[in-house]
Structure 1
Amino acid sequence: MRKKTSLLVLMLFIIFSLFSFRDKNPEQSWIRINLLGYPVNGSKVAVWASKSDQTPALFELIDEKTKKVVYTSLNVKPFGAYGPFKQTARINFSGFDKPGRFYIKADGVLSPLVIINDDVYKGAADFCLRYMRQQRSGFNPYLKDSCHTHDGFSLYGAKAGIKDSTHFDASGGWHDASDYLQYSTTSANATYHLLMAYRDFPAVFTDEKQANGLDGKNGKADVLDEAKWGLDWLLKMHPKKKVMFNQLADDRDHISMRIPKEDSQYGKGFERPLYFINGEPQQRGKFLNATTGTSSTAAKFASAFNLGAKLFKGTDQKYSVLLARKANSALSFALQKPGVTQTASVKSPYIYAEDNWVDDMELALASVGFAKSDLKASKSALAYADREKVTPWLAKDTAAHYQYYPFVNLGHYELAKQLTGAERQKIESYYKEGIEQVWARAKTNAFYRGVPFIWCSNNLTVAFAMQCKWYEELTGDNEFTTLEQANFDWIFGCNPWGTSMVYGLPNWGDTPADPHSAFTLLKNYPIDGGLVDGPVYTNIYNSLIGIKLSEADEYAEFQSDLAVYHDDYGDYSTNEPTMDGTASLIYLLAAKETQAKTASNKTYSLGANVRGDSTLKKVSLVFTGDEFADGGEKILQTLKDENIKASFFLTGNFYRNPKFKSLIKRLKSAGHYLGAHSDKHLLYCDWKNRDSLLVTKKQFDEDLDANYAAMASFGIKERDALYFLPPYEWYNEKITSWTRLKGLQLVNFTPGTRSNADYTFPEMNSSYRTTEEIYKSITNFNEQKANGLNGFYLLLHIGTVAKRKDKFYDRLPDLIRYLKKDGYQLSRIDN
């Protein structure tokens, strides 16, 4: 009897432990998340990290208010040891698509609060603009005071006939980081990112500030005001055709921490030196840089000026003309002596050791095309692109400080958009090659971390996420979407330390509180929106000079032999905010907010995506096929003639049919999307009772796997075709959930037209629809509904039975021209 009682007590204890909300091993296991949140239909992954041997078999999502389990999943992928942890795993809850506030629970461990909605990134880009305004030199709107008004006095300009200590007005711009020196390279790059952010995502940004940064609207988005602040300073740093400066002040700035207006590091009058770009190595004190030419800095000037000229053309014509003229002279300056311009240092060995410059020339020449098409400039840009296909750090696990800068090749993105055919595909392949280098390292760990832990690793992380995003935008290939999201998640808390790397964002989460900044140290001023440097390799940290933590390390248990991060004023290597990194993050946040908005405008039915963004004039032509392909040749030729891409969802039967082999190869070669449509064209659920399944999960899985196996013979991997269209376009919520468990997204045609009736034939009596009826159903819907065909997935068939003589694909040219005439962009369903 006593044994039975003990056994009962033991069983009750086990049950209680399994369902308790209390962490089972609070010192041993953690769940890392994106503290900012996740869009409803986006990639949603957390990381399990444990110092024990435990890895959960399943996890639950628990509603914050009701405390009820709303989602349970086995989608946990173990990865083993990483950094300080013995076990890690990816917890994928992308299949959950309800907005709200939740906790993830696994093996008794609770995550921080998980927020899911399509507004999670709203206002984040504008929030980070606060840090940019706070970094302003000249007049600082945060302090409501002026500083560095005497800048600056030239050095090294003898070859241009400029005596040392000649005064040039160089007041303005941004302080580089927590110090107050200013670099043309980082300022031009930051300016370009801000201009891009406004150009690509104007709807994200608000107008709450005047041009000087003080409160008050001025009719311009604040991000454009900030970009102009950068442009105005760059104009001062390039005052004449053959005069250009690389930096203002130097590392004597680092002697002590102070508020900007108290800057007296350089003696009487607070004069700060302006370093002329002469294309030669420069030495101050005992340190000599490795400058070889004029291109790297001057080309960055040219790019920023050209983009600025384009954006201000409609609102400030005089300013636009000035910028265009300065862009030309900056490009000429860049060509004076091809090579790289490095920064100068006086008291310490730390410089911005930029070692590449052809990427800057590529962007500068690509930017010439912003004003008008320039074939010669594009060809020159392409030649530079071929000289540095992949930004070198992508293939490395280390690099010197700012050795390869910018950290992403913006030229590839801007140039690819101007090219077509094989030339464009070549540039796109350069992006893919670089991403694959990082992916080879990232796929071995649960954080998908492949970015090296060098100084400013967070800047590299943001840049890499942007490259993944641009690659997908250019190609429609979403192979690296999850990798991109993992890098974004890393910045906001899905990292070993569980902290956001952006000061104050989100304000409810763990973010930097004690950064390496005079503003916070001396005055306790918040540096809202500042992106800190990020973790570094432990061996780098141990080799640095002058680092001494000011307090106990709150992240001590998460430090490792791999990398360290400290939220401590004393650590300038991991916790110093940077202006240029923040500007890059502003672009990425604007992109993310726009993407979330776009996703929220999509339409879903029973969990399947049945319409794209209903606010955009985009249409995706979707063709399905199983037995027939009589329209294949004509469809392929029409798409080629009209220069558009479409999407083809084909069964395993179709892929294996030897008669269709040549057609499939040509569809793939032409860049069309090739996806799955089931292997045997099974009917999943009853026509009359949709909830009644006609297949088991095992049958579903095996059939779909066979479909992808058939696709593999054409070199189509599952990761290349993550959208799946169900056979007969008939499914239920269970089929949707099974699809998600396989990491795929179910899609279906947009209801409202009769396009999918193009397979019918006269003997079907009342179900038969003529080509004219089908065509009219499409045009009538477009002309009678508020949003027309915006975001439509128009489903047609690649072939039909011989009994249908009235082939709709004969009208395909007319349909495409109709859509184009009405302003629709036609693209693949995954783009």
Structure 2
Amino acid sequence: MNKPTCFILFCLLLLSAFSHHGFAQEQSWIRVNQLGYLPQQKKVAVWVSKANSEVKRFQLINSDSQKVVYTNKAGKTFGKYGPFQKGYRLDFSAFKGNGTFYILSDDGTKSPAFKINEQVYEGTADFALRYMRQQRTLFNPFLKDSCHTHDGFTMYASSVGMPDSTRVDVGGGWHDASDYLQYATTSANATYHLLAAYRDFPQVFGDQKQANGLDGKNGIADVLDEAKWGLDWLLKMHPKPNIMFNQIADDRDHIKLRMPGQDSIYGRGHERPVYFIDGQPQQRGKFLNNTTGTSSTAAKFVSAFGLGHQLYQQKDQAFAQMLKEKALTAYQYAHIKPGVTQTVSVKSPYIYAEDNWVDDMELAEASMFGLTQDQQHLNKALNYARQENITPWMIRDTANHYQYYPFINLGHYELAKQGDRSSKKEVLTYYKKGIEQVWDRAQENMFYRGVPFIWCSNNLTTSFAIQCHWYKEQSGDKSFEELEQANIDWLFGVNPWGTSMVYGLPADGDTPIDPHSAFTYLHAYPIDGGLVDGPVYSSIYQNLIGIKLINPDEYAEFQSDLVVYHDDFGDYSTNEPTMDGTASLIYLLSAKESESKKKE
């Protein structure tokens, strides 16, 4: 064969190889955790394809030296899921080195670069705290201005001598999401998670902010400053033993897009309505909500106050004593009428339709034991644990909006730590059974996705990863370690869209840039650290009111009949950040950072 012929043949072969590689890149992708991976823990990427192709092996390649440092088989083939025809879990857990790497599969698909080192979670919990500070009402340190200083006027409190429109001082706390409503149930849960994060992992949090959220050290970890902001507001929402409020404002808030200091939509200047907890159904548009009692919200107050008391005993005895007294009266309030307190809506059908309360009472009883050391409280907690031993969405694989809240049973963890050997074994069995329910679904797809795509699915994902972490910690059983990590990986890019679900984290990653937020939409203010709601079933998305995408869908090729996610201001169902979800994420990230510090 002469030289010109050889050259032409070489060019054709090169073109063929290039074309094949380009086809693979177009039809196949490798999803990685954009934060990176800890060297000693589970490390899995996911190869997915819209074609009916296969891979047998993959390589882990050092980005700097371009040397292959690890090879492995692709393993089990997973079938159709969402927009993809096939997928593989590419496990490189056996590689323990540090550096920056990418994965190359034998079909030519190349992953984005990612890090493996002990620092990948460093500072992430403090980063997410930025969003909590930005959600503050009264004085807002991000805006360096105050808002909602006139809250509020009472509703439904005439039974305690407060006719409708009585003025009360309940200013403070956090806005719930990108609107400016405030709910005691989500705020108390968020406060509890922040306090628990400091209790369990104090070493990971820094001190860069004052109590008011402005720059400057004050000798107190920033996460504890933020938790106290929540506690101070909860104290206002439970001013007397016979008075407890459930929410400030309602869905009339949604009338117009604005910054938080511009509220004047309730007919009383800048005052907003404050809804009293009376244990009875209250307004929900043309209907009434399904409130049955006082327990669910009041019990969350007990837990937040109880844990706050424990953490402040050595820091501020007077404040700690006040929290203890409020925990005791909130406990009494929870028993006024056993049952659940739902939120109120005036114009739309959407509320936090919480439907369970014995889990809240279980945690409250465990908290009361911490306050009193009375064994009866642990006995009562165990009785409540048996009434709802598995959080129902895990079994049902579905739920209404906030129907089972919190999204995991926090009381089981406290009982495992405080109870005797028998009760610990019992509640850990409950945790395991719930995890197994999710695992039965998860093992059928390449993402190990077993959490349902209901509204706020990212909050469920975060909470479920926490349950897996707690089960592993308390039992020593590592059977679900990969499932736990898969849920964390999902939040940071190992998902069909290849995007992180946390605004600005990591800084160099694919993260939300167009969330459903007035801060970003009106003024291009970053909402660093905010966890967005996350993907929903296509069937849910198609039936929601008032959703219209503003821009072309950058993830259009990854949407499916199963599930959708849009990084678009117009999609309030998948791309709106939430305060309570972010607070749970702070706990989870602090747990991961703590694990890395133990190995340094």
Aligned to 1:774: none
C-alpha separation between the residues in 1 aligned to 2:21 and 2:308?
55
SS at match of 1:48: strand
What residue identity is the alignment partner of 1:60?
Q
- Shift of the 121–234 alpha-carbon distance from structure 1 to 2, 3 Å rule, reads same
State the partner residue of 2:358: 358
- Post-superposition shift, 1:14? 7.3
Distance in 2 of aligned mates of 1:116 and 1:32: 15
After superposition, where does 1:336-735 map in structure 2 within 5 Å? 336-600=336-600
Checking the alignment, whether the CA contact within 8 Å between 2:415 and 2:423 is kept in structure 1 is no
Query: Are the aligned partners of 1:21 and 1:110 in contact in 2 as well (CA < 8 Å)?
Result: no
Letter aligned with residue 37 of structure 2: Y
Kept in 2, the 8 Å contact 1:28–1:51? The answer is yes
Summarize the alignment of residues 311-322 of structure 1 with structure 2, pairs less than 5 Å apart.
311-322=311-322
Please name the residue that 1:82 is paired with: 81
* Other-structure match for 1:95: 94
Partner of 2:66: 67
How many residue pairs end up in the alignment?
599
Describe the superposition over 1:439-469 as per-residue Cα deviations: whole angstroms up to 9, x where unpaired: 0000000100000000000000000000000
Indicate how the Cα distance of structure 1 residues 284 and 61 shifts in structure 2: closer, same or farther if over 3 A, else same.
closer
Q: For the residues of structure 2 that align with 1:382 and 1:68, how far apart are their CA atoms?
A: 56
Q: CA deviation at 1:599?
A: 2.8
- Cα distance in 1 for partners of 2:234, 2:568 equals 33
1:138 corresponds to 2:138: yes
Structure 1 residue matching 2:104: 3-state secondary structure: strand
Bigger radius of gyration among the two: 1
The equivalent residue for 2:325 is: 325
> 2: distance between equivalents of 1:23 and 1:593?
38
The SS at the match of 2:469 is: helix
Q: Does the CA-based 8 Å contact 1:104-1:114 persist in structure 2? A: no
Instruction: Tell me the equivalent position of 1:705.
Output: none
CA distance in 1, matches of 2:265, 2:154: 17
Q: Give, in whole Å, the separation in 1 of the partners of 2:130 and 2:12.
A: 54
Q: Aligned partners of 2:80, 2:8: CA distance in 1, in Å? A: 37
SS of 2:236's equivalent? helix
Distance 1:50 1:412, change over 3 A: same
Q: Deviations over 1:338-367 (max 9, x none)?
A: 000000000000000000000000000001
Q: Per-residue deviation at 1:284?
A: 5.2
Q: Distance in 2 between matches of 1:477 and 1:403?
A: 30
Letter in 1 for 2:245: F
* Aligned-partner SS, 1:417: helix
TM-score of the superposed pair, with normalisation by structure 1: 0.71
Q: Which string of whole-angstrom CA distances, capped at 9 and with x for unpartnered residues, describes residues 671-690 of structure 1?
A: xxxxxxxxxxxxxxxxxxxx
Structure 2 residue matching 1:150: 3-state secondary structure: coil
Partner of 2:228: 228
Distance in 2 separating the partners of 1:86 and 1:22: 19
Cα separation, 2, equivalents of 1:115 and 1:76:
23
Letter in 2 for 1:402: Y
Bigger RCO of structures 1 and 2 (CA < 8 A, at least 6 apart): 2
Q: Is it true that 1:47 corresponds to 2:46 in the alignment?
A: yes
Unaligned runs of 5+ in 2: none
Structure-1 separation of matches of 2:576 and 2:392: 24
Match of 2:160 in 1: 160
Equivalent residue number for residue 250 of structure 1: 250
Q: Distance in 2 between matches of 1:14 and 1:92?
A: 31
Alpha-carbon distance in 2 for matches of 1:304, 1:12: 69
1:643 aligned partner: none
Q: 1:201 to 1:16 in 2, by over 3 A?
A: farther
Please give the per-residue CA displacement for 1:357-396, whole angstroms capped at 9, x wherever unaligned: 0000000000112235221000000100000000001112
How far apart in 2 are the matches of 1:554 and 1:391? 35
The alpha-carbon deviation at position 597 of structure 1 amounts to 1.6
How much has 1:87 moved relative to structure 2? 0.8
Q: SS of 1:516's equivalent?
A: coil
State the match for 1:660 in structure 2: none
Q: Once the two structures are superposed, what CA deviation does each residue of 1:245-289 show, in whole Å capped at 9, x if it has no partner?
A: 000000000111100011122133211001000000001541310
Report the Cα distance in structure 2 between the residues aligned to 1:226 and 1:31, rounded to whole angstroms: 38
Q: Secondary structure at the match of 2:90?
A: strand
Amino acid of the residue matched to residue 36 of structure 1? L
Task: Verify the 8 A CA contact 1:35 1:506 in the aligned structure 2.
Answer: yes
What SS does structure 1 have at the residue aligned with 2:177? Answer: coil
Structure 2 equivalent of residue 174 of structure 1: 174
SS at match of 2:330: helix
Alignment-derived partner of residue 673 in structure 1: none
Using the alignment, how far apart are the partners of 1:241 and 1:84 within structure 2? 54
Mapped contact 2:309–2:321 kept (Cα < 8 A): yes
Give the letter for the 1:38 counterpart: Y
**SS across alignment from 1:143:** coil
1:598–1:8 CA distance, 2 compared to 1 (3 A): farther
**Contact 2:285/2:349 (<8 A) preserved:** no
2:12, 2:122 → 1: CA distance? 46
Q: Structure 2: how far apart are the matches of 1:370 and 1:154?
A: 33
Superposition deviation, residue 415 in structure 1:
1.1
CA distance in 1, matches of 2:114, 2:139: 40
Distance 2:265 2:22 in 1: 52
Deviations 1:784-826 (A, max 9, x none): xxxxxxxxxxxxxxxxxxxxxxxxxxxxxxxxxxxxxxxxxxx
Q: How far does residue 77 in structure 1 lie from its aligned partner after superposition?
A: 2.8
Tell me, yes or no, if the aligned pair for 2:55 and 2:74 is still in contact at 8 Å.
no
Per-residue deviation, residues 107-164 of structure 1 (Å, max 9, x unmatched): 2111011210000000000000000000000000000000000001111012222211
Structure 1 gaps of 5+ residues are: 601-831
- Give the Cα separation in 2 of the matches to 1:7 and 1:546: 61
* DSSP-derived class of the 1:146 partner: strand
Deviations 1:767-787 (A, max 9, x none): xxxxxxxxxxxxxxxxxxxxx
The residue that corresponds to 2:293 in the other structure is 293
Task: Point out 4+ residue stretches in structure 1 off by more than 4 angstroms.
Answer: 4-8, 20-24
Cα gap change, 1:23 to 1:111, in 2 (>3 Å):
farther
Q: Distance in 1 between matches of 2:443 and 2:207?
A: 41
Q: Distance in 1 between matches of 2:479 and 2:277?
A: 43
Residues 503-553 of structure 1 deviation map (CA, whole Å, 9 limit, x = unaligned): 000010000000000000000000000000000000000000100000100
Give me the CA root mean square deviation.
Answer: 1.9
